A = this chain, B = another copy of it.
């Protein structure tokens, strides 16, 4: 790690090393605050902005990327050897990954059909996981949805005055 940092021209500070270490050890889709908490278990003097900045650096170094599930929180996802998409359970908020290799040909074709030169693909499938679907009795045909999704699962900041 020290290596990578120095060869890329960044200083290997103890805070930075700790943050990188905690990030790599943590699960996927971690938020700034979640990582901040983890880091502080090891060194409570590390600042929030340092964690934020280093998470940005981790992305810049190609080790992670930001993910937006539309819930108002930016999550940082470790880059995987193969591109993957996300399955998001609307009930329990569980996030499962899936390999999107099989979909790539069709996606590239789609892009070319619109004369677009694709660089990245983001696929999110919202629905219900096994247990939630069963518990809620979600049988089959729920589907359909305008542009293909709904921005459900937003963190519910509070109530709407009206339109409850």
CB-CB under 8 A from A160, the residues of chain B are 53, 56
From the candidates B60, B106, B113, B142, name the one contacting A119 in the complex (CB within 8 A): B142
Q: In the complex, which residue of chain B has the Cβ closest to the Cβ of A67?
A: B147
A128–B115 CA distance with the chains assembled, in angstroms: 9
A78–B145 CA distance with the chains assembled, in angstroms: 11
Which A122-164 residues have C-beta < 8 A from chain B? 122-130, 133, 138, 140, 142-152, 160-163
CB-CB under 8 A from A129, the residues of chain B are 115-117
For the complex, is A107 an interface residue (Cβ under 8 Å from B)? yes
For the complex, is A64 an interface residue (Cβ under 8 Å from B)? yes
For the complex, is A47 an interface residue (Cβ under 8 Å from B)? no
Distance (whole angstroms) from the CB of A71 to the closest CB of chain B: 9
CB-CB under 8 A from A57, the residues of chain B are 163
Interface residues of A (CB under 8 A from B): 53, 56-57, 60, 64-68, 70, 74, 77-80, 83-87, 89-90, 96-98, 100, 102-103, 106-107, 110-111, 113-130, 133, 138, 140, 142-152, 160-163
- Quickly give the copy total for this chain: 2
A84 and B147 contacting across the interface, CB-CB below 8 Å: yes
Distance (whole angstroms) from the CB of A93 to the closest CB of chain B: 13
Q: A119-B90, A121-B149, A149-B121 are in contact. Are A68 and B65 (CB under 8 A)?
A: no
B148 and A120 contacting across the interface, CB-CB below 8 Å: yes
A148 and B121 contacting across the interface, CB-CB below 8 Å: yes
Known contacts A56-B160, A98-B113, then 20 further A-B pairs from the complex at CB < 8 Å, ordered by chain A residue:
A53-B160, A53-B161, A53-B163, A64-B146, A65-B147, A65-B150, A77-B147, A83-B147, A90-B119, A97-B147, A102-B106, A110-B125, A111-B127, A117-B142, A118-B127, A119-B128, A119-B143, A121-B123, A121-B145, A123-B123
